[in-house]
Chains A and B, each alone.
Chain A
Amino acid sequence: MTDDLVLDVRDVKKSYEGLEVLKGIGFGLRRGETKVLVGPSGSGKSTLLRCINHLTPPDEGRIFLSGEEVLEKNIDAMRARIGFVFQDFNLFSHLTVLDNVRICQVKVKGVAADVATERAQQELERVGLGDKASAYPAELSGGQQQRVSIARALAMDPDVLLFDEPTSALDPELTGEVVRVMQKLASDGMTMVVVTHEMSFARQAADELIFMENGYIIEQGPPQQLFSSAANDRTRAFLNVIAEHG
Protein backbone atom coordinates (compact mmCIF):
# COMPACT_ATOMS: atom_id res chain seq x y z
CA MET A 1 0.00 0.00 0.00
CA THR A 2 2.58 2.53 1.07
CA ASP A 3 5.22 1.01 -1.19
CA ASP A 4 4.10 2.86 -4.27
CA LEU A 5 4.39 6.20 -2.48
CA VAL A 6 7.43 8.24 -3.42
CA LEU A 7 6.99 10.34 -0.32
CA ASP A 8 5.13 9.21 2.76
CA VAL A 9 4.88 11.65 5.65
CA ARG A 10 3.34 10.18 8.79
CA ASP A 11 2.12 12.04 11.84
CA VAL A 12 4.94 14.61 11.91
CA LYS A 13 5.12 16.89 14.93
CA LYS A 14 7.46 19.79 15.57
CA SER A 15 7.72 22.35 18.36
CA TYR A 16 9.87 25.41 18.77
CA GLU A 17 10.45 26.40 22.39
CA GLY A 18 7.17 24.94 23.56
CA LEU A 19 5.17 26.27 20.62
CA GLU A 20 3.82 23.37 18.60
CA VAL A 21 4.11 24.33 14.92
CA LEU A 22 3.18 20.95 13.45
CA LYS A 23 0.61 18.97 15.38
CA GLY A 24 0.59 15.67 13.57
CA ILE A 25 0.77 16.00 9.80
CA GLY A 26 0.51 13.14 7.34
CA PHE A 27 0.24 12.95 3.59
CA GLY A 28 1.54 10.86 0.73
CA LEU A 29 2.73 11.46 -2.79
CA ARG A 30 2.66 9.03 -5.71
CA ARG A 31 5.16 9.14 -8.53
CA GLY A 32 4.46 12.04 -10.85
CA GLU A 33 2.07 13.76 -8.48
CA THR A 34 2.22 17.45 -7.62
CA LYS A 35 0.75 18.64 -4.35
CA VAL A 36 0.49 22.28 -3.37
CA LEU A 37 0.56 23.33 0.28
CA VAL A 38 -1.32 26.51 1.08
CA GLY A 39 -2.29 28.25 4.26
CA PRO A 40 -1.85 31.47 6.20
CA SER A 41 1.66 32.44 7.25
CA GLY A 42 2.67 30.69 10.42
CA SER A 43 0.55 27.66 9.57
CA GLY A 44 3.63 25.44 9.41
CA LYS A 45 3.99 24.87 5.64
CA SER A 46 7.69 25.73 5.42
CA THR A 47 8.44 23.88 8.64
CA LEU A 48 6.73 20.80 7.22
CA LEU A 49 8.81 21.00 4.06
CA ARG A 50 12.02 21.35 6.10
CA CYS A 51 11.04 18.41 8.29
CA ILE A 52 10.87 16.18 5.22
CA ASN A 53 14.61 16.51 4.53
CA HIS A 54 15.50 17.13 8.19
CA LEU A 55 16.75 20.67 7.63
CA THR A 56 14.50 20.97 10.66
CA PRO A 57 14.46 17.50 12.20
CA PRO A 58 10.92 16.53 13.27
CA ASP A 59 10.26 15.81 16.96
CA GLU A 60 7.91 12.94 16.19
CA GLY A 61 6.58 11.07 13.20
CA ARG A 62 8.21 9.21 10.35
CA ILE A 63 9.10 10.08 6.78
CA PHE A 64 9.63 7.53 4.02
CA LEU A 65 11.20 8.16 0.65
CA SER A 66 10.37 5.44 -1.89
CA GLY A 67 9.81 3.06 1.00
CA GLU A 68 13.03 3.90 2.83
CA GLU A 69 12.86 5.80 6.09
CA VAL A 70 14.59 9.19 6.33
CA LEU A 71 16.75 9.06 9.44
CA GLU A 72 19.62 11.07 10.95
CA LYS A 73 22.09 8.34 10.05
CA ASN A 74 21.23 8.22 6.34
CA ILE A 75 20.35 11.88 6.00
CA ASP A 76 23.04 12.92 3.51
CA ALA A 77 22.16 10.07 1.13
CA MET A 78 18.45 10.82 1.48
CA ARG A 79 18.90 14.55 0.94
CA ALA A 80 20.75 13.81 -2.30
CA ARG A 81 17.46 12.24 -3.48
CA ILE A 82 15.22 15.07 -2.23
CA GLY A 83 15.55 18.22 -4.32
CA PHE A 84 14.95 21.42 -2.38
CA VAL A 85 14.28 24.84 -3.90
CA PHE A 86 14.61 27.74 -1.47
CA GLN A 87 12.67 30.97 -1.40
CA ASP A 88 15.89 32.99 -1.69
CA PHE A 89 17.64 30.61 -4.15
CA ASN A 90 20.86 30.15 -2.15
CA LEU A 91 22.95 29.61 -5.24
CA PHE A 92 26.64 29.15 -4.43
CA SER A 93 27.82 32.68 -5.07
CA HIS A 94 31.48 31.84 -5.81
CA LEU A 95 30.65 29.35 -8.56
CA THR A 96 29.50 29.84 -12.13
CA VAL A 97 25.99 28.79 -13.06
CA LEU A 98 27.36 25.61 -14.64
CA ASP A 99 29.41 24.72 -11.56
CA ASN A 100 26.41 25.37 -9.32
CA VAL A 101 24.54 22.69 -11.21
CA ARG A 102 27.60 20.41 -11.42
CA ILE A 103 29.17 20.49 -8.00
CA CYS A 104 26.83 18.28 -5.99
CA GLN A 105 26.61 15.69 -8.74
CA VAL A 106 30.39 15.37 -8.49
CA LYS A 107 30.98 15.86 -4.76
CA VAL A 108 27.89 14.07 -3.44
CA LYS A 109 26.96 11.44 -6.03
CA GLY A 110 30.46 10.86 -7.38
CA VAL A 111 29.41 11.43 -10.99
CA ALA A 112 32.33 11.78 -13.43
CA ALA A 113 33.18 15.40 -14.25
CA ASP A 114 32.31 15.25 -17.97
CA VAL A 115 29.03 13.43 -17.35
CA ALA A 116 28.12 16.01 -14.71
CA THR A 117 28.92 18.85 -17.10
CA GLU A 118 26.73 17.37 -19.80
CA ARG A 119 23.86 16.80 -17.37
CA ALA A 120 24.24 20.33 -15.98
CA GLN A 121 24.08 21.79 -19.48
CA GLN A 122 20.93 19.73 -20.22
CA GLU A 123 19.19 20.90 -17.07
CA LEU A 124 20.11 24.51 -17.82
CA GLU A 125 18.58 24.14 -21.29
CA ARG A 126 15.49 22.68 -19.64
CA VAL A 127 14.97 25.82 -17.55
CA GLY A 128 15.84 28.02 -20.53
CA LEU A 129 19.25 29.16 -19.35
CA GLY A 130 21.61 27.20 -21.56
CA ASP A 131 23.34 30.42 -22.58
CA LYS A 132 24.10 31.49 -18.98
CA ALA A 133 26.37 28.59 -18.05
CA SER A 134 29.46 30.74 -17.54
CA ALA A 135 27.73 33.58 -15.68
CA TYR A 136 27.94 34.02 -11.92
CA PRO A 137 24.76 34.10 -9.81
CA ALA A 138 25.14 37.79 -8.95
CA GLU A 139 25.02 38.60 -12.66
CA LEU A 140 21.53 37.09 -13.03
CA SER A 141 18.05 38.37 -12.23
CA GLY A 142 16.14 36.80 -9.37
CA GLY A 143 13.97 34.80 -11.75
CA GLN A 144 17.02 33.46 -13.55
CA GLN A 145 18.69 32.58 -10.25
CA GLN A 146 15.63 30.65 -9.16
CA ARG A 147 15.58 28.74 -12.45
CA VAL A 148 19.25 27.86 -11.95
CA SER A 149 18.45 26.59 -8.48
CA ILE A 150 15.70 24.40 -9.98
CA ALA A 151 18.23 23.07 -12.52
CA ARG A 152 20.66 22.44 -9.68
CA ALA A 153 18.06 20.34 -7.88
CA LEU A 154 17.03 18.49 -11.07
CA ALA A 155 20.61 17.55 -11.92
CA MET A 156 20.70 15.36 -8.82
CA ASP A 157 17.93 13.24 -10.35
CA PRO A 158 15.81 13.48 -7.20
CA ASP A 159 12.87 11.20 -6.32
CA VAL A 160 10.94 14.27 -5.27
CA LEU A 161 11.32 18.03 -5.52
CA LEU A 162 10.32 20.33 -2.65
CA PHE A 163 9.66 24.01 -3.37
CA ASP A 164 9.60 26.44 -0.43
CA GLU A 165 7.77 29.54 -1.69
CA PRO A 166 9.92 29.69 -4.83
CA THR A 167 8.44 32.96 -6.11
CA SER A 168 7.97 34.89 -2.87
CA ALA A 169 11.33 36.66 -3.05
CA LEU A 170 10.82 37.71 -6.68
CA ASP A 171 9.55 40.91 -8.19
CA PRO A 172 6.06 40.29 -9.58
CA GLU A 173 7.20 40.51 -13.20
CA LEU A 174 9.71 37.71 -12.63
CA THR A 175 7.40 35.13 -11.07
CA GLY A 176 5.98 34.07 -14.43
CA GLU A 177 9.18 32.56 -15.79
CA VAL A 178 9.66 30.47 -12.65
CA VAL A 179 6.03 29.34 -12.52
CA ARG A 180 6.22 28.29 -16.17
CA VAL A 181 9.27 26.13 -15.47
CA MET A 182 7.46 24.52 -12.53
CA GLN A 183 4.35 23.88 -14.63
CA LYS A 184 6.46 22.24 -17.28
CA LEU A 185 8.11 20.00 -14.67
CA ALA A 186 4.71 19.02 -13.28
CA SER A 187 3.43 18.08 -16.73
CA ASP A 188 6.68 16.21 -17.45
CA GLY A 189 5.80 13.95 -14.54
CA MET A 190 8.12 15.27 -11.83
CA THR A 191 7.00 14.43 -8.30
CA MET A 192 6.69 17.73 -6.42
CA VAL A 193 5.52 19.32 -3.19
CA VAL A 194 5.12 23.07 -3.57
CA VAL A 195 4.50 25.68 -0.90
CA THR A 196 3.25 28.72 -2.77
CA HIS A 197 0.72 31.51 -2.98
CA GLU A 198 0.65 31.27 -6.78
CA MET A 199 -2.92 30.10 -7.19
CA SER A 200 -2.62 30.00 -10.97
CA PHE A 201 0.02 27.32 -10.51
CA ALA A 202 -2.15 25.48 -7.98
CA ARG A 203 -5.13 25.51 -10.33
CA GLN A 204 -3.28 24.32 -13.37
CA ALA A 205 -0.57 22.01 -12.07
CA ALA A 206 -1.64 20.60 -8.71
CA ASP A 207 -3.14 17.15 -8.46
CA GLU A 208 -4.10 18.03 -4.94
CA LEU A 209 -4.30 21.15 -2.83
CA ILE A 210 -3.52 20.81 0.87
CA PHE A 211 -4.80 23.57 3.13
CA MET A 212 -2.92 23.92 6.42
CA GLU A 213 -3.71 26.06 9.42
CA ASN A 214 -2.28 26.17 12.95
CA GLY A 215 -0.18 23.07 12.43
CA TYR A 216 -2.98 20.88 11.09
CA ILE A 217 -4.09 19.84 7.64
CA ILE A 218 -7.60 21.28 7.51
CA GLU A 219 -8.65 20.05 4.12
CA GLN A 220 -7.19 18.48 1.01
CA GLY A 221 -8.50 17.67 -2.42
CA PRO A 222 -8.34 18.51 -6.13
CA PRO A 223 -7.84 22.25 -6.60
CA GLN A 224 -11.03 22.72 -8.66
CA GLN A 225 -13.06 21.20 -5.87
CA LEU A 226 -11.43 23.29 -3.13
CA PHE A 227 -11.68 26.50 -5.10
CA SER A 228 -15.35 25.99 -5.98
CA SER A 229 -16.74 24.18 -2.96
CA ALA A 230 -14.40 23.76 -0.03
CA ALA A 231 -16.08 21.94 2.82
CA ASN A 232 -14.40 23.99 5.47
CA ASP A 233 -15.24 27.65 6.12
CA ARG A 234 -11.65 28.62 6.84
CA THR A 235 -10.39 26.98 3.67
CA ARG A 236 -12.99 28.86 1.70
CA ALA A 237 -12.20 32.17 3.39
CA PHE A 238 -8.46 31.74 2.84
CA LEU A 239 -8.76 30.76 -0.80
CA ASN A 240 -11.07 33.70 -1.45
CA VAL A 241 -8.60 36.16 0.03
CA ILE A 242 -5.72 34.62 -1.91
CA ALA A 243 -7.71 34.60 -5.13
CA GLU A 244 -8.44 38.33 -4.73
CA HIS A 245 -4.90 39.38 -3.94
CA GLY A 246 -2.87 36.75 -5.70
Chain B
Amino acid sequence: MCREPDLDIYDVLLRDFPFLLKGLGVAVVLLVALLLIGFVLGMAICLLQLYGPRTLLVQWPLKVYERVFRGVPIIIMLFIFYYGVSGIYDISAFAAAVLAMGLRSAAYQSQIFRSAFQSVPAGQMMAARAMGMSKIKAIRHIVFPQSARHAIGPWTNEFSSEIKETSLAYVIGVVELTRQAHYIITSTQGNVLMVFAVVALLYFVLNRAGNSLLYAFERKLAVPGFEK
Protein backbone atom coordinates (compact mmCIF):
# COMPACT_ATOMS: atom_id res chain seq x y z
CA MET B 1 0.00 0.00 0.00
CA CYS B 2 1.55 3.31 -1.04
CA ARG B 3 0.56 6.68 0.15
CA GLU B 4 -2.59 8.08 -1.44
CA PRO B 5 -3.03 11.67 -0.31
CA ASP B 6 -6.31 12.20 -2.16
CA LEU B 7 -8.16 9.65 0.00
CA ASP B 8 -9.24 10.84 3.44
CA ILE B 9 -9.01 8.53 6.40
CA TYR B 10 -12.65 7.45 6.24
CA ASP B 11 -12.23 6.25 2.68
CA VAL B 12 -9.03 4.45 3.67
CA LEU B 13 -10.70 2.80 6.62
CA LEU B 14 -13.63 1.78 4.46
CA ARG B 15 -11.34 0.43 1.78
CA ASP B 16 -9.04 -1.39 4.19
CA PHE B 17 -11.73 -2.62 6.54
CA PRO B 18 -11.53 -6.14 5.07
CA PHE B 19 -7.88 -6.22 6.21
CA LEU B 20 -8.92 -5.28 9.70
CA LEU B 21 -11.56 -8.01 9.68
CA LYS B 22 -8.95 -10.45 8.44
CA GLY B 23 -6.71 -9.37 11.32
CA LEU B 24 -9.60 -9.85 13.68
CA GLY B 25 -10.12 -13.32 12.22
CA VAL B 26 -6.49 -14.21 12.92
CA ALA B 27 -6.86 -12.89 16.45
CA VAL B 28 -9.97 -15.03 16.97
CA VAL B 29 -8.28 -18.19 15.68
CA LEU B 30 -5.29 -17.47 17.92
CA LEU B 31 -7.66 -16.90 20.84
CA VAL B 32 -9.62 -20.11 20.29
CA ALA B 33 -6.46 -22.17 19.82
CA LEU B 34 -4.75 -20.82 22.92
CA LEU B 35 -7.87 -21.17 25.07
CA LEU B 36 -8.32 -24.75 23.86
CA ILE B 37 -4.74 -25.70 24.68
CA GLY B 38 -5.12 -23.88 27.97
CA PHE B 39 -8.37 -25.70 28.75
CA VAL B 40 -7.18 -29.23 28.02
CA LEU B 41 -3.79 -28.82 29.64
CA GLY B 42 -5.13 -26.69 32.50
CA MET B 43 -7.79 -29.28 33.32
CA ALA B 44 -5.19 -32.05 33.26
CA ILE B 45 -2.90 -30.08 35.59
CA CYS B 46 -5.79 -29.32 37.94
CA LEU B 47 -6.95 -32.96 38.10
CA LEU B 48 -3.40 -34.17 38.72
CA GLN B 49 -2.87 -31.56 41.42
CA LEU B 50 -6.09 -32.44 43.20
CA TYR B 51 -6.54 -36.15 42.59
CA GLY B 52 -3.21 -37.36 41.18
CA PRO B 53 -0.41 -39.09 43.07
CA ARG B 54 0.90 -36.91 45.88
CA THR B 55 4.52 -37.76 45.09
CA LEU B 56 6.93 -34.86 44.58
CA LEU B 57 7.91 -36.39 41.25
CA VAL B 58 4.45 -35.52 39.92
CA GLN B 59 3.50 -32.49 41.98
CA TRP B 60 6.75 -30.56 41.88
CA PRO B 61 7.06 -30.20 38.07
CA LEU B 62 3.40 -29.12 37.92
CA LYS B 63 4.04 -26.46 40.50
CA VAL B 64 7.19 -25.23 38.75
CA TYR B 65 5.35 -25.11 35.41
CA GLU B 66 2.47 -23.15 36.86
CA ARG B 67 4.75 -20.71 38.72
CA VAL B 68 7.01 -20.10 35.72
CA PHE B 69 4.24 -19.45 33.23
CA ARG B 70 2.39 -17.21 35.62
CA GLY B 71 5.54 -15.39 36.65
CA VAL B 72 7.14 -14.42 33.34
CA PRO B 73 5.82 -11.60 31.10
CA ILE B 74 4.08 -12.93 28.01
CA ILE B 75 6.23 -10.81 25.66
CA ILE B 76 9.34 -12.56 26.96
CA MET B 77 7.62 -15.92 26.50
CA LEU B 78 6.68 -14.98 22.93
CA PHE B 79 10.30 -14.09 22.15
CA ILE B 80 11.59 -17.26 23.80
CA PHE B 81 9.17 -19.46 21.88
CA TYR B 82 9.67 -17.73 18.56
CA TYR B 83 13.40 -17.15 18.54
CA GLY B 84 14.31 -19.95 20.92
CA VAL B 85 12.30 -22.71 19.31
CA SER B 86 12.92 -21.61 15.74
CA GLY B 87 16.62 -22.27 16.36
CA ILE B 88 15.78 -25.97 16.78
CA TYR B 89 12.63 -26.35 14.73
CA ASP B 90 11.27 -24.01 12.09
CA ILE B 91 8.17 -22.65 13.75
CA SER B 92 5.86 -19.99 12.34
CA ALA B 93 5.22 -16.84 14.32
CA PHE B 94 1.57 -17.88 14.63
CA ALA B 95 2.46 -21.33 15.98
CA ALA B 96 4.91 -19.80 18.45
CA ALA B 97 2.21 -17.41 19.65
CA VAL B 98 -0.35 -20.22 20.05
CA LEU B 99 2.14 -22.29 21.99
CA ALA B 100 3.47 -19.56 24.28
CA MET B 101 0.04 -18.11 25.03
CA GLY B 102 -1.67 -21.51 25.22
CA LEU B 103 0.85 -22.85 27.70
CA ARG B 104 0.55 -19.73 29.78
CA SER B 105 -3.24 -19.86 29.69
CA ALA B 106 -2.99 -23.49 30.88
CA ALA B 107 -1.18 -22.28 34.00
CA TYR B 108 -3.91 -19.73 34.70
CA GLN B 109 -6.80 -22.02 33.80
CA SER B 110 -5.42 -24.81 36.00
CA GLN B 111 -5.71 -22.48 38.97
CA ILE B 112 -9.21 -21.35 37.97
CA PHE B 113 -10.30 -24.98 37.79
CA ARG B 114 -8.47 -25.92 40.96
CA SER B 115 -10.19 -23.30 43.06
CA ALA B 116 -13.53 -24.18 41.42
CA PHE B 117 -13.09 -27.85 42.31
CA GLN B 118 -12.03 -26.91 45.82
CA SER B 119 -15.11 -24.77 46.28
CA VAL B 120 -17.28 -27.89 45.99
CA PRO B 121 -17.89 -29.02 49.59
CA ALA B 122 -15.99 -32.19 50.56
CA GLY B 123 -19.29 -33.79 51.57
CA GLN B 124 -20.33 -34.03 47.92
CA MET B 125 -17.44 -36.31 47.06
CA MET B 126 -17.93 -38.21 50.31
CA ALA B 127 -21.62 -38.84 49.64
CA ALA B 128 -20.90 -39.97 46.07
CA ARG B 129 -18.20 -42.36 47.26
CA ALA B 130 -20.39 -43.60 50.11
CA MET B 131 -23.00 -44.65 47.57
CA GLY B 132 -20.50 -46.72 45.65
CA MET B 133 -19.29 -44.34 42.97
CA SER B 134 -15.64 -44.72 42.04
CA LYS B 135 -13.49 -41.63 42.37
CA ILE B 136 -13.63 -41.04 38.62
CA LYS B 137 -17.43 -41.37 38.48
CA ALA B 138 -17.79 -39.08 41.47
CA ILE B 139 -15.60 -36.45 39.84
CA ARG B 140 -17.42 -36.74 36.52
CA HIS B 141 -21.02 -36.83 37.70
CA ILE B 142 -20.93 -34.87 40.96
CA VAL B 143 -17.87 -32.67 41.45
CA PHE B 144 -17.22 -31.55 37.88
CA PRO B 145 -20.74 -30.27 37.08
CA GLN B 146 -20.73 -28.23 40.28
CA SER B 147 -17.22 -26.88 39.83
CA ALA B 148 -18.02 -25.89 36.23
CA ARG B 149 -20.63 -23.50 37.59
CA HIS B 150 -18.04 -21.95 39.89
CA ALA B 151 -15.47 -21.73 37.11
CA ILE B 152 -17.46 -19.85 34.46
CA GLY B 153 -17.09 -16.44 36.17
CA PRO B 154 -13.31 -16.49 36.54
CA TRP B 155 -13.00 -18.23 33.18
CA THR B 156 -14.84 -15.34 31.54
CA ASN B 157 -12.21 -13.10 33.03
CA GLU B 158 -9.43 -15.22 31.52
CA PHE B 159 -11.25 -15.13 28.17
CA SER B 160 -11.37 -11.33 28.28
CA SER B 161 -7.76 -10.86 29.16
CA GLU B 162 -6.60 -13.35 26.52
CA ILE B 163 -8.56 -11.53 23.79
CA LYS B 164 -6.67 -8.40 24.66
CA GLU B 165 -3.33 -10.15 24.91
CA THR B 166 -3.61 -11.65 21.42
CA SER B 167 -2.54 -8.17 20.31
CA LEU B 168 0.90 -8.87 21.80
CA ALA B 169 1.51 -11.55 19.16
CA TYR B 170 2.19 -8.47 17.06
CA VAL B 171 5.73 -8.28 18.45
CA ILE B 172 6.83 -11.52 16.80
CA GLY B 173 5.17 -10.65 13.52
CA VAL B 174 1.80 -12.38 13.63
CA VAL B 175 -0.45 -10.44 11.26
CA GLU B 176 -3.38 -10.06 13.61
CA LEU B 177 -5.65 -7.08 14.16
CA THR B 178 -3.13 -4.73 15.77
CA ARG B 179 -0.53 -5.34 13.05
CA GLN B 180 -3.12 -4.79 10.30
CA ALA B 181 -3.94 -1.47 11.97
CA HIS B 182 -0.29 -0.61 11.99
CA TYR B 183 -0.05 -1.31 8.25
CA ILE B 184 -2.89 1.10 7.61
CA ILE B 185 -1.27 3.76 9.74
CA THR B 186 2.08 3.31 7.97
CA SER B 187 0.50 3.54 4.55
CA THR B 188 -1.55 6.64 5.29
CA GLN B 189 0.72 8.33 7.85
CA GLY B 190 -0.92 9.99 10.78
CA ASN B 191 -4.50 9.13 11.66
CA VAL B 192 -3.16 7.02 14.47
CA LEU B 193 -6.00 7.88 16.80
CA MET B 194 -8.74 7.21 14.28
CA VAL B 195 -7.37 3.82 13.21
CA PHE B 196 -6.72 2.65 16.73
CA ALA B 197 -10.14 3.86 17.80
CA VAL B 198 -11.70 1.55 15.20
CA VAL B 199 -9.44 -1.28 16.31
CA ALA B 200 -10.31 -0.65 19.94
CA LEU B 201 -13.98 -0.83 19.02
CA LEU B 202 -13.45 -4.17 17.25
CA TYR B 203 -11.68 -5.66 20.31
CA PHE B 204 -14.37 -4.25 22.55
CA VAL B 205 -17.26 -5.68 20.51
CA LEU B 206 -15.60 -9.10 20.37
CA ASN B 207 -15.01 -8.97 24.11
CA ARG B 208 -18.58 -8.00 24.92
CA ALA B 209 -20.02 -10.62 22.60
CA GLY B 210 -17.93 -13.34 24.23
CA ASN B 211 -18.79 -12.14 27.71
CA SER B 212 -22.50 -12.03 26.96
CA LEU B 213 -22.40 -15.61 25.66
CA LEU B 214 -20.54 -16.82 28.72
CA TYR B 215 -22.86 -14.99 31.12
CA ALA B 216 -25.86 -16.48 29.32
CA PHE B 217 -24.29 -19.91 29.74
CA GLU B 218 -23.75 -19.19 33.43
CA ARG B 219 -27.38 -18.20 33.89
CA LYS B 220 -28.53 -21.30 32.03
CA LEU B 221 -26.57 -23.54 34.39
CA ALA B 222 -27.61 -21.71 37.55
CA VAL B 223 -29.23 -23.98 40.13
CA PRO B 224 -32.50 -22.64 41.61
CA GLY B 225 -32.27 -21.71 45.27
CA PHE B 226 -28.53 -22.24 45.32
CA GLU B 227 -26.68 -19.20 46.58
CA LYS B 228 -23.42 -18.46 44.93
Contact of A69 with B by CB under 8 A: no
* Chain B residue contacts of A53, Cβ below 8 A: 130
Contact of A30 with B by CB under 8 A: no
Contact of B118 with A by CB under 8 A: no
Offer 10 A-B interface pairs, CB within 8 angstroms, sorted by A: A76-B133, A80-B132, A84-B127, A104-B128, A107-B137, A108-B131, A108-B137, A136-B225, A136-B226, A153-B131
* Chain A residue contacts of B227, Cβ below 8 A: 138
Question: Chain B interface: which size bin?
Answer: 20 to 34
CA of A88 to CA of B123, assembled, Å: 8
- Are the CB atoms of B223 and A104 closer together than 8 Å? no
Task: Report the stretch among A89-97, A171-179, A201-209, A224-232 that lies at the interface.
Answer: A89-97
The residues of A with any CB-CB pair to B shorter than 8 Å are 53, 55, 76-82, 84, 86, 88, 90-94, 103-104, 107-109, 135-139, 149, 152-153, 156
Known: A86-B123, A88-B123, A92-B142. A55 touches B224 (CB 8 A): no
* Chain B residue contacts of A78, Cβ below 8 A: 132
- The one of A90, A103, A138, A149 in contact with B224, judged by C-beta atoms closer than 8 angstroms, is A138
- Are the CB atoms of B132 and A104 closer together than 8 Å? yes
* Chain A residue contacts of B216, Cβ below 8 A: none
* Chain A residue contacts of B131, Cβ below 8 A: 79-80, 84, 104, 108, 152-153, 156
Q: Which residue of chain B lies nearest to A156 when distances are taken between CB atoms in the complex? A: B131
CA of A55 to CA of B131, assembled, Å: 11
- Are the CB atoms of A90 and B129 closer together than 8 Å? no
- Are the CB atoms of B141 and A79 closer together than 8 Å? no
CA of A33 to CA of B145, assembled, Å: 38
- The one of B129, B132, B137, B146 in contact with A93, judged by C-beta atoms closer than 8 angstroms, is B146
CA of A76 to CA of B141, assembled, Å: 16
The residues of B with any CB-CB pair to A shorter than 8 Å are 121, 123-124, 126-134, 137, 141-142, 145-146, 149, 223-227
- The one of A82, A92, A139 in contact with B128, judged by C-beta atoms closer than 8 angstroms, is A92
- Are the CB atoms of B226 and A92 closer together than 8 Å? no
* Chain A residue contacts of B132, Cβ below 8 A: 76-81, 104, 108-109, 156
* Chain B residue contacts of A153, Cβ below 8 A: 131
- Are the CB atoms of A138 and B226 closer together than 8 Å? yes
* Chain A residue contacts of B127, Cβ below 8 A: 84, 86, 90-92, 149
CA of A84 to CA of B127, assembled, Å: 8
CA of A81 to CA of B133, assembled, Å: 12
CA of A88 to CA of B226, assembled, Å: 16
* Chain B residue contacts of A152, Cβ below 8 A: 131
Known: A90-B124, A93-B226, A138-B226. A55 touches B130 (CB 8 A): yes
* Chain A residue contacts of B142, Cβ below 8 A: 92, 94
Q: Which residue of chain B lies nearest to A109 when distances are taken between CB atoms in the complex? A: B132
* Chain A residue contacts of B128, Cβ below 8 A: 92, 104
Known: A90-B123, A138-B225, A138-B226. A84 touches B141 (CB 8 A): no
* Chain B residue contacts of A139, Cβ below 8 A: 224-225
Q: Which residue of chain A lies nearest to B149 when distances are taken between CB atoms in the complex? A: A94
CA of A107 to CA of B128, assembled, Å: 10
CA of A152 to CA of B128, assembled, Å: 11
- Are the CB atoms of B137 and A90 closer together than 8 Å? no
Known: A136-B225, A138-B223, A138-B224. A55 touches B126 (CB 8 A): yes
Known: A90-B124, A93-B146, A107-B137. A79 touches B224 (CB 8 A): no
CA of A108 to CA of B131, assembled, Å: 8
CA of A135 to CA of B225, assembled, Å: 9
CA of A146 to CA of B49, assembled, Å: 33
The distance from the CB of A32 to the nearest CB of chain B, in whole angstroms, is: 22
- Are the CB atoms of B126 and A90 closer together than 8 Å? yes
Beyond the given pairs A90-B123, A94-B226, A135-B225, 18 more chain A to chain B contacts, judged by CB atoms under 8 angstroms and listed by A's residue number, are: A55-B129, A55-B130, A76-B134, A79-B131, A86-B127, A88-B123, A92-B127, A93-B124, A104-B132, A107-B141, A136-B223, A136-B224, A136-B225, A136-B226, A138-B225, A138-B226, A138-B227, A156-B132
CA of A77 to CA of B133, assembled, Å: 9
CA of A79 to CA of B138, assembled, Å: 13
* Chain B residue contacts of A107, Cβ below 8 A: 133, 137, 141
CA of A104 to CA of B134, assembled, Å: 11
The distance from the CB of A182 to the nearest CB of chain B, in whole angstroms, is: 18
The distance from the CB of B39 to the nearest CB of chain A, in whole angstroms, is: 21
CA of A49 to CA of B54, assembled, Å: 28
